[in-house]
Amino acid sequence: KILTVALFYFSAFLLTTMVASLFIQVLAREFNWEVDWSEELARFSFISAVFLASSYATLTKSHLSVSFFSNWIAKRIGQNAVSKFHTFAQLGFDVCVIYYASINLIEGIRYPNISPSLGFNQNYLFVLMILGFALSALIHLIDIFSTQQDSSDTDMPALKGE
């Protein structure tokens, strides 16, 4: 519950920061102000919000899914098996992203990519990517260990002739 609220409000803060920064940028273009930092701040806020909001979507199970094929398979082998497969596939994706983002972060510390206006090493954004996908992986691990295999008749498809 605390994690859900924290992710929601932090993602909302990042979205608000992005919108405010873009609004400042529009005003700056109209009045010929020099605010080069507003575009970078908007970009960094957007990137950060995407990674943290994705773990929020995973936590609340509100992420986008195309369920036509999985519903068709679930009718044949049961919803529990399909749900477990989805969870393991998402967990595998989370682990791959964490691994490669960590490699990019380490390389980015060694060879920094400094933003021109803010003077910020852009490779530190991989920390938020790692954090977002680590939270998503943790949520998937909790799902795996908290759900029990149900051997009831409601999960298994009915066999013809019984």
pLDDT over 90, % of the chain:
38
pTM of the model: 0.73
Contact 65, 145 (CB under 8 A): no
Contact 39, 29 (CB under 8 A): no
pLDDT single digits (tens) 110-151: 999 998 888 889 999 999 999 989 988 988 888 888 865 443
83, containing H or E segment? helix 79-110
Nearest to 52 by CA among 112, 161, 148, 127: 127
